[in-house]
Structure 1
Amino acid sequence: MLRTIDSVHGYTIQATDDELGSVEEVYFDDEQWGVRYLVVETGSWLSSRKVLISPYSVVGINDEDGIIEVSLTREQVKNSPDIDTHQPISRQLEGDYSQYYGYGNYWTGPYLWGAAGHPEYPAADTVGTPPMNQRPEDLAERINDAQQDTHLRSSDKTSGYHILGTDDEIGHVKDFIFDDKDWAVRYLLVDTRNWWPGGKKVLLGTQWIERIDWSDSTVQTKLTREQIKNSPEYDEDIPLDRPYEVQLHEHYGRRTYWD
């Protein structure tokens, strides 16, 4: 199911024995566009400490009650590595976190979640089996880069970034849309009304982004204002379905991510 990050803001994280806190924001990586962590405000039971919850532990989302269920206990979370969410999170800290919980390192394999396409422990026959178009030298270079750097970004801090087209600004980031099965960020939700009075909200596929200037708070794409004006409008009150996605990709002449 495709949903906005804002839609899970404030959701309660329910452990196997008690509540852990509520979702404040998410961290995603700017290379593969995967939602890597939910940032959870724990409240009084853990002195308002913020903790990271990985999609590896998510077992279900209950929209009716606003609850995200995880396969963790309060004791596990209490003893987890203390990560300062006000500072950049290094790959070493992520490694310590993954080791503590027994997760895999998503950055060491060819798929979105390392050796698998979903946040689950990989099957034996998929371990070490890269896609056919993944050259060994490219994979080695990517793993080496991942070990030295971090690419985690805050959804809160990225919201509001200006979207630049080939001819002018086309809007700003209002939200992100991700798939809650593989936790991949599929689209940026763009609000065009800062340059187009009475304009509309549109979706920008993460695959269509040329680059992001994190120091200048801008997102560069090869789309034009005219393309944006004629694109299918996105209605936040209507569930995002595959027919709309097909229409969107056909409008921009882009290959679909599910092919």
Structure 2
Amino acid sequence: MNENAWDYRETDARPQGIDLRGFKVEAVDGSIGKVDKHSDEAGSAWIVVDTGPWIFGKEVLLPAGTVSRIDVAEETVHVDRTKEQIKNAPEFHRETHLGNADYHDELGAYYLLGAPFGGRPF
């Protein structure tokens, strides 16, 4: 992960103009859901993942810095975190956390701790 959790990595080769909604999301240890919404705003890029039954239908917000690669042909976003690390991230509520600077800072700090695998010490 780069120093800013909210930017895609330069090596990621984030394809411009591609709508990621509906892409599968794969953690290092398995599927976590599908992209429901995404932002490509510089310094504030992220994906919202609908986890379906994995964590009881909750959504999670992942900073763009967690994305290790995007496979357009397979419509899959790969992230460099485990399912457990994602599950233990600060809880996300779309209505209150999208655009919330305090949540943005809290989540960014969570994913930057212990890079490259992020998250609080387990």
Q: TM-score, normalised by structure 2?
A: 0.72
SS in 2 for 1:97: helix
How big is the shift at 1:28?
Answer: 4.8
Residue equivalent to 1:106: none
CA contact (8 A) 1:5 1:26 kept: no
Structure 2 residue 83 is matched with structure 1 residue 92: no
Pick one of 46, 67, 73 that aligns with 1:64.
73
Structure 2 residue 56 is matched with structure 1 residue 80: no
What residue identity is the alignment partner of 1:9? R
> Which digits, 9 at most, give the CA deviation of each residue in 1:137-191, with x for residues without a partner?
xxxxxxxxxxxxxxxxxxxxxxxxxxxxxxxxxxxxxxxxxxxxxxxxxxxxxxx
Structure 1 portions without partners, runs of 5+: 104-120, 122-259
CA contact (8 A) 1:26 1:35 kept: no
2-structure distance, mates of 1:63, 1:5: 8
Structure 2 residue 52 is matched with structure 1 residue 39: no
Residue equivalent to 1:9: 21
SS in 2 for 1:75: helix
CA contact (8 A) 2:51 2:59 kept: yes
> Which digits, 9 at most, give the CA deviation of each residue in 1:95-123, with x for residues without a partner?
110111116xxxxxxxxxxxxxxxxx9xx
How big is the shift at 1:34?
Answer: 4.9
What residue identity is the alignment partner of 2:111? Y
Aligned length: 101
Identity rate, percent? 26
How big is the shift at 1:91?
Answer: 1.1
How big is the shift at 1:69?
Answer: 0.9
Residue equivalent to 1:214: none
Which has the greater radius of gyration?
1
How big is the shift at 1:5?
Answer: 4.2
What residue identity is the alignment partner of 2:17? T
1-structure distance, mates of 2:111, 2:75: 25
2-structure distance, mates of 1:12, 1:91: 27
- After TM superposition, the runs of 4+ consecutive aligned structure 1 residues lying more than 6 A away are none
Residue equivalent to 2:31: 19
CA contact (8 A) 2:63 2:108 kept: no
CA contact (8 A) 1:13 1:68 kept: yes
2-structure distance, mates of 1:34, 1:92: 15
2-structure distance, mates of 1:22, 1:90: 23
Structure 2 residue 51 is matched with structure 1 residue 51: no
SS in 2 for 1:19: strand
1-structure distance, mates of 2:112, 2:44: 18
CA contact (8 A) 2:32 2:51 kept: yes
What residue identity is the alignment partner of 1:59? S
> Which digits, 9 at most, give the CA deviation of each residue in 1:4-42, with x for residues without a partner?
242x2111111000111101111354xxx4551111101
SS in 2 for 1:56: helix
